[in-house]
Amino acid sequence: MAHQSLDSLEPSLKMVCGHDPLCPLGEDAYFVSEEKQAIGVADGVGGFALIGVDAGEYARELMVNASVAVHQLPDGVADLKSVLNEAFLNTKAEGASTACIVMLSNDNILHSINVGDSGFMIFRANRLAYKSPVQQHYFNCPYQLGNSKGCDRPSSASESREPVFPGDVIVVGTDGLLDNVFPADIEDVLKRETLEGVNPMELAVTITNLARNYSLDMERESPFAKAAKLAGKGYPSYYTGGKPDDITVVVAHIVPQNQCSFS
Protein backbone atom coordinates (compact mmCIF):
# COMPACT_ATOMS: atom_id res chain seq x y z
CA MET A 1 0.00 0.00 0.00
CA ALA A 2 1.39 3.41 -0.94
CA HIS A 3 2.27 5.78 1.86
CA GLN A 4 0.22 8.97 2.20
CA SER A 5 2.11 12.16 1.45
CA LEU A 6 2.46 14.52 4.41
CA ASP A 7 0.37 17.24 2.81
CA SER A 8 -2.56 14.80 2.53
CA LEU A 9 -2.33 13.63 6.15
CA GLU A 10 -4.78 15.15 8.60
CA PRO A 11 -2.76 16.58 11.52
CA SER A 12 -3.83 15.45 14.99
CA LEU A 13 -1.61 17.87 16.95
CA LYS A 14 -0.69 21.54 16.75
CA MET A 15 1.54 24.09 18.44
CA VAL A 16 -0.07 26.96 20.35
CA CYS A 17 2.64 29.62 20.58
CA GLY A 18 3.45 32.60 22.77
CA HIS A 19 6.26 35.10 23.27
CA ASP A 20 6.95 38.21 25.33
CA PRO A 21 5.45 41.06 23.25
CA LEU A 22 7.28 43.73 25.27
CA CYS A 23 10.76 42.21 25.18
CA PRO A 24 13.21 44.41 23.23
CA LEU A 25 14.84 42.42 20.45
CA GLY A 26 18.09 44.34 20.06
CA GLU A 27 20.16 42.25 17.65
CA ASP A 28 17.78 39.26 17.89
CA ALA A 29 14.91 38.49 15.52
CA TYR A 30 12.18 35.87 15.29
CA PHE A 31 9.03 34.80 13.49
CA VAL A 32 6.05 32.70 14.55
CA SER A 33 3.51 31.17 12.16
CA GLU A 34 0.75 29.17 13.78
CA GLU A 35 -0.77 28.79 10.31
CA LYS A 36 2.32 26.91 9.13
CA GLN A 37 3.24 25.60 12.61
CA ALA A 38 6.71 27.11 12.48
CA ILE A 39 8.97 29.16 14.76
CA GLY A 40 12.29 30.78 13.95
CA VAL A 41 14.80 32.71 16.04
CA ALA A 42 18.05 34.40 15.07
CA ASP A 43 20.80 36.32 16.85
CA GLY A 44 22.80 38.90 14.91
CA VAL A 45 26.55 38.76 15.49
CA GLY A 46 27.41 41.77 17.64
CA GLY A 47 30.96 42.11 16.37
CA PHE A 48 29.72 43.74 13.17
CA ALA A 49 28.67 46.80 15.21
CA LEU A 50 32.39 47.53 15.64
CA ILE A 51 32.63 48.29 11.91
CA GLY A 52 29.45 50.36 11.78
CA VAL A 53 27.05 47.61 10.68
CA ASP A 54 23.66 47.19 12.38
CA ALA A 55 24.28 43.75 13.85
CA GLY A 56 20.56 42.98 13.98
CA GLU A 57 19.74 43.81 10.36
CA TYR A 58 20.97 40.51 8.95
CA ALA A 59 19.04 38.53 11.59
CA ARG A 60 15.83 40.48 10.93
CA GLU A 61 16.06 40.06 7.16
CA LEU A 62 16.90 36.37 7.51
CA MET A 63 13.82 35.73 9.66
CA VAL A 64 11.55 37.66 7.30
CA ASN A 65 12.84 35.59 4.39
CA ALA A 66 12.54 32.36 6.38
CA SER A 67 8.91 33.18 7.17
CA VAL A 68 8.22 33.82 3.48
CA ALA A 69 9.85 30.51 2.54
CA VAL A 70 7.88 28.61 5.20
CA HIS A 71 4.62 29.98 3.82
CA GLN A 72 5.50 28.67 0.36
CA LEU A 73 5.64 25.07 1.61
CA PRO A 74 2.63 22.75 1.28
CA ASP A 75 0.67 22.60 4.54
CA GLY A 76 2.15 20.19 7.05
CA VAL A 77 5.39 19.65 5.11
CA ALA A 78 8.58 20.66 6.93
CA ASP A 79 11.35 20.99 4.34
CA LEU A 80 13.51 23.20 6.53
CA LYS A 81 16.68 22.67 4.51
CA SER A 82 15.06 24.42 1.53
CA VAL A 83 13.58 27.08 3.84
CA LEU A 84 16.95 27.99 5.32
CA ASN A 85 18.71 27.85 1.97
CA GLU A 86 16.14 30.14 0.33
CA ALA A 87 16.20 32.55 3.27
CA PHE A 88 20.00 32.66 3.14
CA LEU A 89 20.11 33.28 -0.62
CA ASN A 90 17.57 36.11 -0.34
CA THR A 91 19.26 37.86 2.60
CA LYS A 92 21.54 40.58 1.26
CA ALA A 93 22.21 42.65 4.39
CA GLU A 94 25.69 42.96 5.80
CA GLY A 95 26.40 41.04 8.97
CA ALA A 96 25.87 37.51 10.18
CA SER A 97 23.49 35.57 12.40
CA THR A 98 22.78 32.29 14.10
CA ALA A 99 19.46 30.67 13.23
CA CYS A 100 17.12 28.03 14.62
CA ILE A 101 13.86 27.05 12.91
CA VAL A 102 11.42 24.41 14.14
CA MET A 103 8.29 23.19 12.40
CA LEU A 104 5.60 20.63 13.25
CA SER A 105 4.67 18.34 10.36
CA ASN A 106 1.39 16.53 9.88
CA ASP A 107 2.85 13.27 11.22
CA ASN A 108 3.46 14.92 14.63
CA ILE A 109 7.22 15.20 14.17
CA LEU A 110 9.00 18.38 15.24
CA HIS A 111 11.59 19.15 12.60
CA SER A 112 14.46 21.51 13.30
CA ILE A 113 17.37 23.12 11.52
CA ASN A 114 20.02 25.00 13.43
CA VAL A 115 23.14 27.04 12.76
CA GLY A 116 25.06 28.21 15.82
CA ASP A 117 24.09 28.58 19.46
CA SER A 118 20.41 29.45 19.25
CA GLY A 119 18.31 26.36 19.86
CA PHE A 120 15.31 24.68 21.42
CA MET A 121 14.26 22.27 24.14
CA ILE A 122 11.35 19.85 24.44
CA PHE A 123 9.86 19.34 27.90
CA ARG A 124 7.57 16.40 28.61
CA ALA A 125 5.74 16.11 31.94
CA ASN A 126 7.86 19.06 33.16
CA ARG A 127 11.13 17.23 32.45
CA LEU A 128 13.65 17.86 29.68
CA ALA A 129 13.14 15.34 26.88
CA TYR A 130 15.42 16.83 24.21
CA LYS A 131 17.87 19.72 23.83
CA SER A 132 19.34 20.76 20.50
CA PRO A 133 23.15 20.65 20.28
CA VAL A 134 25.24 23.82 20.06
CA GLN A 135 27.28 24.37 16.91
CA GLN A 136 30.50 26.29 17.50
CA HIS A 137 33.95 26.47 15.93
CA TYR A 138 35.37 26.95 19.42
CA PHE A 139 34.02 28.26 22.72
CA ASN A 140 31.96 31.45 22.29
CA CYS A 141 32.42 31.39 18.51
CA PRO A 142 29.20 29.86 17.14
CA TYR A 143 28.51 28.91 13.56
CA GLN A 144 26.92 31.91 11.85
CA LEU A 145 25.26 32.50 8.50
CA GLY A 146 26.40 35.51 6.53
CA ASN A 147 27.62 36.85 3.22
CA SER A 148 31.07 37.80 4.47
CA LYS A 149 34.22 35.72 4.06
CA GLY A 150 34.56 33.23 6.88
CA CYS A 151 30.83 32.92 7.58
CA ASP A 152 29.07 29.57 7.45
CA ARG A 153 26.54 28.34 4.91
CA PRO A 154 23.23 26.46 5.29
CA SER A 155 25.05 23.25 4.35
CA SER A 156 26.69 23.42 7.81
CA ALA A 157 23.33 23.32 9.61
CA SER A 158 22.37 20.48 11.92
CA GLU A 159 18.91 18.93 11.56
CA SER A 160 16.75 16.83 13.83
CA ARG A 161 13.38 15.10 13.84
CA GLU A 162 11.76 14.52 17.23
CA PRO A 163 8.29 13.06 17.91
CA VAL A 164 6.07 15.21 20.10
CA PHE A 165 3.04 14.35 22.19
CA PRO A 166 0.05 16.19 23.70
CA GLY A 167 1.17 18.30 26.64
CA ASP A 168 4.76 18.77 25.48
CA VAL A 169 6.20 22.27 25.89
CA ILE A 170 8.71 23.53 23.34
CA VAL A 171 11.04 26.40 24.31
CA VAL A 172 12.89 28.06 21.43
CA GLY A 173 15.48 30.72 22.22
CA THR A 174 18.62 32.60 21.32
CA ASP A 175 21.83 32.27 23.30
CA GLY A 176 20.65 35.00 25.67
CA LEU A 177 18.37 32.31 27.08
CA LEU A 178 20.62 29.29 26.69
CA ASP A 179 23.75 30.93 28.14
CA ASN A 180 21.93 31.95 31.31
CA VAL A 181 19.27 29.35 32.09
CA PHE A 182 19.79 25.65 32.67
CA PRO A 183 17.07 23.19 31.54
CA ALA A 184 16.49 22.43 35.24
CA ASP A 185 15.58 26.10 35.78
CA ILE A 186 12.89 25.81 33.12
CA GLU A 187 11.69 22.55 34.65
CA ASP A 188 11.17 24.45 37.91
CA VAL A 189 9.21 27.16 36.09
CA LEU A 190 6.97 24.58 34.43
CA LYS A 191 6.28 22.77 37.70
CA ARG A 192 5.38 26.05 39.38
CA GLU A 193 3.52 27.86 36.59
CA THR A 194 1.47 25.13 34.91
CA LEU A 195 -0.55 23.81 37.85
CA GLU A 196 -3.69 25.40 36.38
CA GLY A 197 -2.77 24.91 32.73
CA VAL A 198 -0.22 26.00 30.15
CA ASN A 199 -0.31 29.57 28.84
CA PRO A 200 2.53 29.87 26.29
CA MET A 201 2.71 33.66 26.39
CA GLU A 202 2.84 33.80 30.20
CA LEU A 203 5.50 31.08 30.24
CA ALA A 204 7.56 32.95 27.64
CA VAL A 205 7.39 36.15 29.71
CA THR A 206 8.37 34.29 32.89
CA ILE A 207 11.29 32.49 31.23
CA THR A 208 12.48 35.68 29.52
CA ASN A 209 12.46 37.57 32.82
CA LEU A 210 14.27 34.71 34.54
CA ALA A 211 16.98 34.71 31.87
CA ARG A 212 17.34 38.49 32.09
CA ASN A 213 17.69 38.40 35.89
CA TYR A 214 20.19 35.55 35.75
CA SER A 215 22.22 37.29 33.04
CA LEU A 216 22.85 40.18 35.45
CA ASP A 217 23.75 37.96 38.41
CA MET A 218 27.53 37.91 38.56
CA GLU A 219 27.64 35.40 41.41
CA ARG A 220 25.51 32.64 39.95
CA GLU A 221 26.91 29.63 38.11
CA SER A 222 25.43 29.96 34.62
CA PRO A 223 25.61 27.63 31.60
CA PHE A 224 27.99 30.16 30.01
CA ALA A 225 30.24 30.26 33.08
CA LYS A 226 30.27 26.47 33.30
CA ALA A 227 31.24 26.18 29.62
CA ALA A 228 33.89 28.91 30.02
CA LYS A 229 35.58 26.96 32.80
CA LEU A 230 35.62 23.84 30.65
CA ALA A 231 37.04 25.82 27.73
CA GLY A 232 39.87 26.99 29.95
CA LYS A 233 41.86 29.22 27.62
CA GLY A 234 41.19 32.87 28.38
CA TYR A 235 38.77 32.13 31.21
CA PRO A 236 39.87 31.66 34.84
CA SER A 237 38.83 28.53 36.71
CA TYR A 238 36.84 30.67 39.12
CA TYR A 239 34.80 32.39 36.36
CA THR A 240 31.18 32.87 37.45
CA GLY A 241 28.16 34.90 36.52
CA GLY A 242 25.61 35.36 33.80
CA LYS A 243 26.13 36.74 30.29
CA PRO A 244 24.18 39.94 29.55
CA ASP A 245 22.71 39.70 26.07
CA ASP A 246 19.58 40.12 23.99
CA ILE A 247 17.07 37.45 25.00
CA THR A 248 14.40 35.97 22.74
CA VAL A 249 12.10 33.18 23.90
CA VAL A 250 9.16 31.56 22.10
CA VAL A 251 7.12 28.89 23.90
CA ALA A 252 4.86 26.39 22.14
CA HIS A 253 2.39 24.00 23.76
CA ILE A 254 1.57 20.79 21.88
CA VAL A 255 -2.19 20.22 22.00
CA PRO A 256 -4.82 18.23 20.06
CA GLN A 257 -5.71 19.83 16.74
CA ASN A 258 -9.29 20.53 17.84
CA GLN A 259 -8.27 22.33 21.04
CA CYS A 260 -8.67 26.08 20.74
CA SER A 261 -7.76 27.33 24.22
CA PHE A 262 -5.00 26.97 26.80
CA SER A 263 -5.24 23.93 29.04
What does the DSSP assignment read for 133-200?
A: PP-EEETTEE--EESSTT-B-GGG-EEEEEE--TT-EEEEE-HHHHTT--HHHHHHHHHHH-TT---H
> pTM of the predicted model, to two decimals?
0.94
159 HSE (CA, 13 A, CB side): 14
Q: Specify if 221 maps to a domain.
A: yes
**Per-residue pLDDT tens digits for 120-140:** 999 999 999 999 999 999 999
pLDDT in tens, 80-94: 999 999 999 999 999
In a domain, 7, yes or no: no
Q: What is the CA radius of gyration of the chain?
A: 18
Distance of alpha carbon 8 from alpha carbon 139, whole angstroms? 44
Domain of 72, CATH number, reads 3.60.40.10
Is 68 inside any structural domain?
A: yes
List the helix and strand counts (H, then E) for the chain.
6, 13
Count of domains observed in the chain = 1
- Write out the residue range of the structural domain in which residue 39 sits: 13-149+156-256
Q: H or E segment at 24?
A: none
Distance CA 15, CA 52 (A): 39
How high is the pLDDT of residue 46? 85
Asked whether residue 145 is domain-assigned, the answer is: yes
Give me the pLDDT at residue 1, please: 34
pLDDT of residue 50: 83
Q: What is the pLDDT of residue 139?
A: 93
**Which residues in the chain land under pLDDT 70?**
1-9, 233, 260-263
6 located within any domain = no
